[in-house]
Amino acid sequence: MKKIVLTAAILTFFSVTGNAQIEINVEGQTTDISGTILDIIIDPSSGSIPMTGEYLLDLEIHNNTGINKSWRVTRKEVSVPESWIDIISFGICFPSSTLSNYCTPASAPLVINNGASALVALRFAPELTIDATATYRYYVSDDCSTFEDSVDIRFNYTLGLKTTKLKPTFDIAPNPANDYTVISSNEVDNSNVKIVDVLGNVVYTETISATKKIDLSDFKNGIYFITIETSDSKISNRKLIIRH
Domain boundaries, the chain: 2-157, 170-242
Identify the DSSP state of 226: E
Confidence of residue 170 (pLDDT cuts 50, 70, 90): confident
Q: What is the pLDDT of residues 22-43, one digit of tens each?
A: 999 999 999 999 989 999 988 7
Nearest C-alpha neighbor of 52 from the set 26, 96, 3, 87: 87
Handedness of CA 119, 58, 97, 20 (dihedral sign): positive
Q: What is the pLDDT of residues 106-138, one digit of tens each?
A: 999 999 999 999 999 998 888 877 889 999 999
Nearest C-alpha neighbor of 65 from the set 16, 17, 114, 117: 114
- How confident is the model at residue 167, as a pLDDT? 53
Question: Phi, psi at residue 128, to the nearest 5°?
Answer: -70, -15
- How confident is the model at residue 58, as a pLDDT? 94
Q: Note whether 2-157 and 170-242 share their fold.
A: yes
Kindly report which listed range (118-132, 142-156, 189-203, 211-225) carries the lowest average pLDDT score.
Answer: 189-203
- pTM (2 d.p.): 0.60
The answer as to CATH 3.30.360.10 being correct for domain 170-242 is no
3-state secondary structure of 12: coil
- Most trustworthy range by pLDDT among 37-51, 153-167, 170-184: 170-184
3-state secondary structure of 43: coil
- How confident is the model at residue 61, as a pLDDT? 96
Burial 6-19 (b: 16+ CB within 10 A, else e): eeeeeeebeebeee
* Answer CATH for 2-157 from 2.60.120.10, 2.60.40.10, 3.40.50.1110, 1.10.1200.10: 2.60.40.10
Q: What is the pLDDT of residues 64-90, one digit of tens each?
A: 999 999 999 999 999 999 888 899 999
